[in-house]
């Protein structure tokens, strides 16, 4: 028999066992990996004190160089373990650190272990009570099934142990009976447990009116956005993956298997004039059981109010335990104007088309939305995103796009500083200003506000990749893929990351997976061009870029054509490359053509003088295309030139 002393810390129904290295909620162990456990331990042991990020990193990774990302991911695991009240227990002090805001009680205990006559290893846990006799006993066999023996009669602990050993079979039977009873209760009451993962299927536009598609898409996206902000929901599948099921007959269990979720939500929308009718069905796919169904009838002007009601009903029927902050996140209305909200949904609908015409239409609708409600912060973030897209693609002069994006972002943050969307947009602006530290701070803030946002996670990948921090970037993409498992874009981003990391074969594997999901993915075809060039597979590279050009929106073809010119140059097809260069020079007399496009062709042709001339012009415009200057292999022919080192220094990428 072995007896050892150990310490526990108790708070809010949780027990942190410092000796066993585990977290308990009541008698149930909550899974917590080693680093998150150490993080929670440090918080608990410093309850009420502000702990800086630097201190945390020193405690958790004393001999390893890590970034704030590792800490944020670690604390996300802790908050998931603590569940609904996590944001109240561990409070974030923006740009300073974290505070454990709960009273903590230290409870010393003793554990006695022995193997009885039947070979069963038994653990007896004795809670100490100020030196008095034992008040409670927990007996645990190796199966980890628990049975509790109420307060015993006065007597020594050793006498009680002897009694248990003398009645080993009785103890085993009692344990077995209790275990069976526990499992029986769990089996018959399992519908009452909370469900922590869901896929919101695309709402079906039953009316058949194509003009109502923006409503069905908007409802789907709004519910995903609202639910993803709840800490008690670990997985809310992102839009890209669920939209793959649009227009298809879907089996709930098949969908749940493909997306790795438990609950699946189906919805139908009918619009007749100003009247909207919505039907909802929530299915527990694990048991193939209908959980709940609802029907809502409203005027079109009340659609934002109706969405709030639907989101509340979904959370209740998932049996989520929501804190006051959670309820505010779920029910928050960013505008009281039904008209402004409809215009905002139209803006998102057209922005998703990712074409010059689509972005321009989205800007028009967002402007109409803020005209209806000048305090509609989300509409300003929509404006910022569309201007950023036009500037990045070269479909608008980057300086003009930058100015308009900045105005919209500052307006959004002035109205509402708690929008993750606004902080992501501000992070992009800081990048264009080459304020990399500021960009990182804004991105971290966005991650704290919405850790389940695929957009936020993807922005982390982009930032980290630019500095060659590929392992950390891949962690962001892996988490994003959990939330968006059928997204071609994430596979494409993984391929680009592996290309930057000089792993072309693995990059090709990921990019081909992207094309299996979406054969029309322009980024996947264009990135395959780069990887094939790295492997000197010139014919394949040219073929992929021609596919990208054929798929690209006609108004933006020249943007992809410049990469084809680069490809021809690298492949030794100088005449074809010069033809594209001449065409771009003619086009630039009629409309704006980004300097980076000329630089790219000159790099392919091996003309360093012209390449640096145009790269410097791209730098002066703060071209977003220079973000990956440090890691992109296409610049390898320039790296030995002192002018390249100077450009890297000016870009603050050294």
Alpha carbon distances (Å) from 415 to 17, 423, 601: 44, 13, 44
Integer Cα distance of 165 and 172 in angstroms: 11
Structure confidence at residue 528 (pLDDT): 97
Whether pLDDT at 170 is above 60? no
Which pTM does this prediction carry? 0.71
Residues 336-359 pLDDT 10s: 888 999 999 999 999 988 888 899
Integer Cα distance of 529 and 522 in angstroms: 11
* Buried b / exposed e along 614-634 (16+ C-beta atoms within 10 A): bbbebbebbbbbbbbbbbbbb
Integer Cα distance of 149 and 473 in angstroms: 51
Structure confidence at residue 108 (pLDDT): 56
Whether pLDDT at 329 is above 70? yes
Whether pLDDT at 4 is above 70? no
Q: How many helices (H) and strands (E) does the chain have?
A: 28, 17
Q: Which residues contact 432 (CB under 8 A, 6 or more apart)?
A: 402, 622, 624
Structure confidence at residue 131 (pLDDT): 39
Nearest to 253 by CA among 262, 243, 245: 262
342-562: CATH number:
1.25.40.10
Q: Of the CATH numbers 3.50.50.60, 3.40.50.720, 3.40.50.10610, 3.40.1710.10, which one belongs to the domain with range 197-333? A: 3.40.50.10610
Whether pLDDT at 429 is above 80? yes
What does 540-586 look like in DSSP terms, one character per residue? HHHHHHHHHHHHS-GGGHHHHHHHHHHHHHHTT-HHHHHHHHHHHHH
2-105: CATH number:
1.10.10.10
The band of 167, judged by pLDDT with boundaries at 50, 70 and 90, is very low
Q: Which residues contact 290 (CB under 8 A, 6 or more apart)?
A: 281, 282, 283, 284
* 3-class DSSP string for 31-81: CCCHHHHHHHHHHHHCCCCEEEHHHHHHHHCCCCCCCHHHHHHHHHHHHHH
Per domain, the residue ranges of the chain are 2-105, 116-192, 197-333, 342-562, 563-654
CB 41 within 8 A of CB 78: no
Residues 455-505 pLDDT 10s: 888 888 888 999 999 999 999 999 999 999 999 999 999 999 999 999 999
Q: What percent of the chain has pLDDT over 70?
A: 84
Residues 75-125 pLDDT 10s: 877 887 887 677 678 887 766 788 888 888 876 554 444 444 444 434 444
| Strand ranges in 338-464 using DSSP code E only, listed in sequence order | none
CB 81 within 8 A of CB 234: no
Residues 198-253 pLDDT 10s: 999 999 888 777 777 888 888 899 899 889 888 888 899 999 899 999 888 788 89
Whether pLDDT at 16 is above 90? no
Whether pLDDT at 434 is above 60? yes
Q: Sign of the CA dihedral 614, 616, 620, 626?
A: positive
Residue 531, phi-psi category: left (phi > 0), alpha (psi -120 to 50), beta (remainder): alpha
Whether pLDDT at 149 is above 60? no
Phi, psi of 276 (to 5 degrees): -120, 135
Phi, psi of 577 (to 5 degrees): -65, -45
| 459 or 575, greater pLDDT | 575
Structure confidence at residue 384 (pLDDT): 94
Whether pLDDT at 172 is above 80? no
Q: What percent of the chain has pLDDT over 90?
A: 42
* Arithmetic mean of pLDDT, 595-620: 96
Integer Cα distance of 325 and 299 in angstroms: 29
Whether pLDDT at 73 is above 80? no
Q: Residue 400 CB: number of other CB atoms within 10 A? A: 13
Whether pLDDT at 413 is above 90? yes
Of the listed ranges 28-32, 156-160, 599-603, the one predicted with least confidence? 156-160
Tokens representing 287 are 């048991």
Residues 377-411 pLDDT 10s: 999 999 999 999 988 887 888 888 999 999 999 99
Integer Cα distance of 49 and 460 in angstroms: 29
Work out the mean pLDDT of the chain and round it to a whole number.
82
| 159 or 151, greater pLDDT | 159
The residue to which tokens 């300086």 are assigned: 399
Alpha carbon distances (Å) from 138 to 3, 31, 120, 129: 14, 20, 15, 15
| 112 or 287, greater pLDDT | 287
Structure confidence at residue 134 (pLDDT): 39
* Arithmetic mean of pLDDT, 546-562: 74
Nearest to 502 by CA among 638, 630, 344: 630
Whether pLDDT at 254 is above 50? yes
Helix (H) or strand (E) run with residue 112 in it:
strand 105-115
| 459 or 609, greater pLDDT | 609
């Amino acid at each position: 028999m072995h007896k050892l002393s150990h310490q526990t810390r108790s708070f809010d129904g949780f027990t942190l066992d410092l000796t066993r290295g585990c977290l308990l909620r009541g008698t149930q162990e909550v899974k917590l990996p080693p680093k998150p456990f150490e993080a929670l331990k440090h918080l608990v042991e410093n309850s009420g004190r502000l702990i800086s990020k630097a201190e945390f990193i020193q405690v958790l990774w004393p001999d390893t160089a890590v970034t704030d990302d590792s800490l944020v991911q670690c604390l996300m695991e802790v908050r998931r373990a603590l569940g609904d009240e996590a944001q109240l227990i561990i409070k974030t002090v923006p740009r300073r650190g974290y505070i454990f805001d709960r009273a903590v009680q230290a409870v010393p205990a003793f554990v006695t272990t022995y193997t009885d006559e039947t070979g069963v290893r038994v653990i007896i846990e004795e809670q100490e009570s100020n030196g008095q006799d034992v008040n409670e006993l927990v007996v645990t066999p190796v199966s980890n099934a628990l049975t509790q023996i109420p307060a015993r009669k006065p007597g020594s602990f050793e006498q009680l142990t002897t009694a248990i050993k003398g009645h080993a079979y009785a103890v085993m039977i009692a344990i077995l009976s209790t275990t069976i009873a526990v499992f029986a209760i769990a089996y018959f009451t399992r519908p009452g447990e909370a469900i922590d993962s869901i896929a919101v299927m695309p709402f079906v536009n039953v009316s058949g009116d194509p003009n109502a598609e923006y409503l069905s898409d908007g409802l789907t996206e709004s519910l995903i956005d609202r639910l993803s902000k709840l800490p008690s929901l670990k997985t809310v599948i992102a839009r890209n993956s669920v939209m793959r099921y649009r227009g298809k007959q879907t089996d709930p269990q098949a969908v749940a298997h493909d997306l790795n979720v438990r609950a699946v939500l189906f919805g139908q929308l009918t619009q007749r004039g100003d009247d909207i009718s919505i039907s909802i069905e929530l299915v527990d796919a694990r048991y193939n059981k209908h959980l709940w169904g609802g029907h809502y009838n409203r005027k079109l002007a009340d659609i934002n109010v109706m969405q709030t009601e639907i989101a509340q009903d979904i959370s209740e029927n998932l049996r989520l335990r929501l804190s006051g902050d959670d309820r505010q996140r779920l029910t928050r209305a960013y505008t009281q104007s039904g008209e402004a909200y409809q215009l905002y949904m139209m803006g998102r609908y057209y922005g998703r088309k990712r074409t010059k015409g689509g972005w321009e239409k989205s800007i028009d609708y967002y402007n109409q939305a803020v005209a209806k409600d000048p305090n509609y912060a989300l509409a300003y973030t929509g404006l910022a995103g569309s201007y950023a897209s036009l500037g990045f693609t070269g479909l608008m002069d980057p300086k003009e796009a930058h100015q308009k994006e900045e105005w919209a972002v500052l307006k959004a943050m002035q109205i509402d500083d708690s929008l993750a969307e606004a902080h992501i947009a501000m992070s992009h602006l800081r990048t264009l200003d080459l304020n990399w530290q500021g960009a990182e701070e804004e991105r971290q803030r966005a991650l704290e506000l919405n850790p389940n946002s695929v957009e936020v996670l993807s922005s982390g990948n982009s930032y980290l990749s630019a500095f060659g921090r590929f392992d950390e970037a891949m962690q962001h993409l892996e988490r994003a893929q959990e939330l968006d498992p059928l997204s071609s874009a994430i596979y494409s981003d993984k391929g680009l990351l592996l290309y930057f990391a000089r792993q072309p074969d693995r990059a090709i594997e990921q990019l081909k997976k992207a094309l299996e999901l979406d054969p029309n993915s322009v980024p996947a075809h264009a990135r395959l061009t780069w990887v094939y060039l790295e492997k000197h597979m010139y014919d394949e590279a040219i073929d992929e870029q021609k596919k990208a050009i054929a798929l690209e929106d006609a108004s933006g073809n020249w943007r992809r054509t410049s990469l084809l010119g680069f490809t021809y140059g690298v492949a030794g097809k100088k005449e074809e490359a010069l033809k594209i260069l001449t065409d771009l020079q003619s086009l630039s007399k009629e409309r704006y053509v980004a300097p980076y496009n000329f630089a790219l062709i000159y790099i392919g042709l091996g003309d360093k003088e012209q390449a640096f001339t145009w790269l410097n012009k791209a730098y002066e415009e703060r071209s977003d295309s220079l973000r990956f200057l440090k890691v992109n292999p296409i610049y390898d022919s320039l790296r030995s030139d002192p002018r390249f080192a100077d450009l890297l220094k000016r870009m603050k990428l050294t």
